[in-house]
């Protein structure tokens, strides 16, 4: 794991001065049924999209706050990565997209009966959003509504 001093100077300065948000109290909803009866969705900040979807837009000031819908059953090998963060090594998730968007692992959990089903669609966001206001106000409610419509009980959050 990298330490702050391992990062380029501009990132060190940014991280030292960034106004981190605190959510207090943390919203919490207890699980009301066993995992084996739950429908699960993946929600990742890996910046993955399908080849026919627009890539995430690096020019959006504060970060692209949109998301991409990735249908269930998608082969992770076809995912295109447009994650632009320079603060981590992308090779692992480029070699095996399951590291950042574990579609195959989710299918295995369903196959073993650990979950009842996988969502019809999963969500991919861009990480490194330094101005999250639009994400919180606009995008998150839209994403949540999609998951509710699909009767998703739980989401596996995969921060990248």
Per-residue tokens: 7: 């990062």
Please report where in the chains the tokens 């579609």 appear, as a residue: 103
pLDDT category of residue 29 using cuts at 50, 70 and 90: confident
* Buried-exposed string 131-154: b where 16+ CB fall within 10 A, e elsewhere: eeebbeeebeeebeebbeeeebbb
Does residue 154 surpass a pLDDT of 90?
A: yes
Over residues 120-144, the pLDDT tens digits come to 999 999 988 888 889 999 999 999 9
pLDDT at 1: 66
Burial (CB count <10 Å: 0-12, 13-18, 19+), residue 3: exposed
Over residues 63-115, the pLDDT tens digits come to 899 999 999 999 999 999 987 777 677 788 889 999 999 999 999 999 999 99
pLDDT at 20: 77
pLDDT category of residue 27 using cuts at 50, 70 and 90: confident
At residue 38, the 3 state secondary structure works out as coil
Contact 117/36 with Cβ under 8 angstroms?
no
Does residue 23 surpass a pLDDT of 90?
A: no
Per the prediction, the chain carries an average pLDDT of 91
Task: State how far the Cα of 57 lies from the Cα of 43, in Å rounded to an integer.
Answer: 19
H or E element that contains 148 = helix 140-149
């Amino acid at each position: 794991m990298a330490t702050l001093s391992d990062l380029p100077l501009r990132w060190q300065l940014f991280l030292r001065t960034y106004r981190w948000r605190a959510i207090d109290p943390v919203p919490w909803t207890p699980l009301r049924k066993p995992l084996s009866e739950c429908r699960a969705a993946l929600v990742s900040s890996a910046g993955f999209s399908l080849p026919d979807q627009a890539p995430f837009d690096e020019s959006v000031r504060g970060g692209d706050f949109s998301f991409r819908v990735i249908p269930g059953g998608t082969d992770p090998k076809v995912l295109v990565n447009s994650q632009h963060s320079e603060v981590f090594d992308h090779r692992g998730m480029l070699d095996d997209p399951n590291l950042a968007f574990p579609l195959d692992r989710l299918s295995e959990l369903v196959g073993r009966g650990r979950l009842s089903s996988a969502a019809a669609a999963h969500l991919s966001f861009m990480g490194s959003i330094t101005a999250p206001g639009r994400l919180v106000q606009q995008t998150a409610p839209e994403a949540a509504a999609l998951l509710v419509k699909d009767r998703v009980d739980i989401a596996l959050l995969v921060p990248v």
